[in-house]
Amino acid sequence: MSFVTVNPDSDFPIQNLPYGVFSTADNPQPRIGVAIGDQILDLQAVKHFFDGPVLKNVQNVFDQPTLNAFMGLGRAAWSEARQTLQKILSKSESMLRDNAELRARALVPQSLATMHLPANIGDYTDFYSSKNHAYNVGCMFRDPKTALNPNWTQLPVGYHGRSSSVVVSGTPVRRPNGQLKPDETNPPIHGTCRLFDFELEMGFFTGPATQLGDPITMDRAEDHIFGMVLLNDWSARDIQKWEYVPLGPFLAKNMGTSISPWVVTMDALQPFLTDNIPQDPVPLPYLQDKGNYNFDIKLDVSIMADGLTKPSTITRSNFKHMYWTMKQQLVHHTATGCNINPGDLMGSGTISGPTPDTYGSMLELCWKGTKTVELGNGITRKFLQDGDEVIFHGYCEGNGHRVGFGTCSGKVLPAHPLS
């Protein structure tokens, strides 16, 4: 237990200790912190405690305005830092608990903090790794017998997204304008997206850099995965429908990607490891992994809309429904020798379960506009409307505690008027 008070339903007990970047009104410089209960431990203020063999000569990584340098140190540094944090925050340790002056500087209420992106994201890739989601979307536009393209069960499908439009939770996202073809019998038009959607995803940040030309093999993949966040891959379905052939998503996805501010480390998630989904056919040897790398992370999506007194939960899913694992995604991504850097972001793809109440997008929940989604108070949706706030939440259920991610939220702003 920690000497810092942590409510039983908090996402941030001492078993979690996620990393983020924050600032305050009295100190506007972004700096690295760790969430504990409703507080943030400012690592700049306590960096001298990181005096183990791996970190003692690189304590300056905690002076940085992003996590990139720390991510680049690798698993030995991450594990040592976690051990140090659990020690100094422990109820039985006096080094911080009994130092009132240091405690006043080092512990900051989350309510007084502004959160920032946790890393300088050099590259962002989004995968398409939920078989349920891929099958559902395939059924909407093709014969169910050919819902999955032939390559889908052979490799983790993905595309390269825009790191420049990745934003931290709480940042509004504007409804896009783009080229549409609402009437198949007429030419395309330049108009406002009418079918704006969210996609319930998670993402992982990469660790140590690799050299161009050197792939990451399965036995080393875990060494390059730092931690996870919630991720909303905002999607313009009508723009996507017209543009996606032949090269896949482009403008339908680049108006914004929201992530939660707290990065939950893989060490914190280790107790929630669960079985991988059986893969048929068996992947090629370079994608085969003898161990499990799937995680039992409960996820839900709520919408706060005009006319509601509280957010309405519209779906509950779980990360364990993913067909391809993060290790397989990373190994495939680098199979050609593509290099990665600390702080690269990899999205999971929409996380849909096997039943309609576990689908991870409005496209599926309204089944391409043929059904309505009930929000309560007589309010319904098929796709998102201006002013809607979409809120993701995720957590793992431990023995008497949660290891959670907080929330990932964003409000839909109206499109710019077209001249």
pLDDT tens profile 174-231 = 999 999 999 999 999 999 999 999 999 999 999 999 999 999 999 999 999 999 999 9
The pLDDT value given to residue 357: 97
The pLDDT value given to residue 248: 86
* Full DSSP string of 291-325: S--EE--EEEEEEE-TT-SS-EEEEEEEGGG-SS-
Average pLDDT of the chain to the nearest whole number:
97
Q: Does any domain span residue 77? A: yes
**pLDDT greater than 90 at residue 331:** yes
Q: Pick from 79, 99, 116: which residue ends a domain? A: 116
CA distance 215 to 258: 29
**pLDDT greater than 90 at residue 108:** yes
Give CA 79 to chain center in angstroms: 21
Q: Pick from 116, 140, 167: which residue ends a domain? A: 116
**pLDDT greater than 90 at residue 141:** no
206: alpha, beta or left? (left if phi > 0; alpha if psi -120 to 50) = beta
When pLDDT is cut at 50, 70 and 90, the band that residue 5 belongs to is very high
Q: Are residues 391 and 311 in the same domain?
A: yes
- Domain of residue 39 covers 19-116
When pLDDT is cut at 50, 70 and 90, the band that residue 134 belongs to is very high
Q: Does any domain span residue 1? A: no
**What is the mean pLDDT of the segment spanning 278-299?**
97
In whole angstroms, how far apart are CA 282 and each of 135, 290, 372? 19, 12, 38
> Which residues are documented as binding site for Ca(2+)?
126, 199, 201
Note the residue count of the chain: 419
Looking at the chain, the whole-number percentage of residues with pLDDT higher than 70 is 100
**What is the mean pLDDT of the segment spanning 362-370?**
97
The pLDDT value given to residue 419: 83
CA distance 144 to 202: 27
The pLDDT value given to residue 154: 98
Q: Are residues 107 and 168 in the same domain?
A: no
pTM above 0.95, yes or no: yes
Q: Tell me the per-residue pLDDT of 235-285, one tens digit each, with 9 for 90 and over.
A: 999 999 999 889 888 999 999 999 999 999 999 999 999 999 999 999 999
The pLDDT value given to residue 231: 98
Q: Does any domain span residue 13? A: no
**pLDDT greater than 90 at residue 32:** yes
- Show the tokens assigned to 191: 């108009």
Other beta carbons within 10 Å of 292: 12
Q: Does any domain span residue 406? A: yes
Q: Is 224 a catalytic residue?
A: no
Q: Are residues 96 and 186 in the same domain?
A: no
Query: 29 CB contacts (<8 Å, ≥6 apart)?
Result: 23, 65
Instruction: Specify the residue for token string 């330049």.
Output: 190
- Number of domains observed in the structure of the chain: 2
Residue of 133, 321, 333, 401 marked catalytic: 133
> Which residues are documented as binding site?
126, 128, 142, 199, 201, 233, 240, 244, 253, 257, 350
Q: Does any domain span residue 10? A: no
Q: Are residues 62 and 131 in the same domain?
A: no
**CATH code, domain carrying 35:** 2.30.30.230
> Which residues are documented as binding site for substrate?
128, 142, 240, 244, 350
**CATH code, domain carrying 356:** 3.90.850.10
**pLDDT greater than 90 at residue 118:** yes
CA distance 360 to 340: 28
Q: Pick from 56, 84, 116: which residue ends a domain? A: 116
Q: Classify residue 199 by its DSSP letter.
A: B
**What is the mean pLDDT of the segment spanning 371-377?**
97
Q: Are residues 264 and 339 in the same domain?
A: yes
Q: Does any domain span residue 347? A: yes
Q: Are residues 109 and 139 in the same domain?
A: no
> Which residues are documented as binding site for Mg(2+)?
233, 253, 257
Q: Are residues 345 and 400 in the same domain?
A: yes
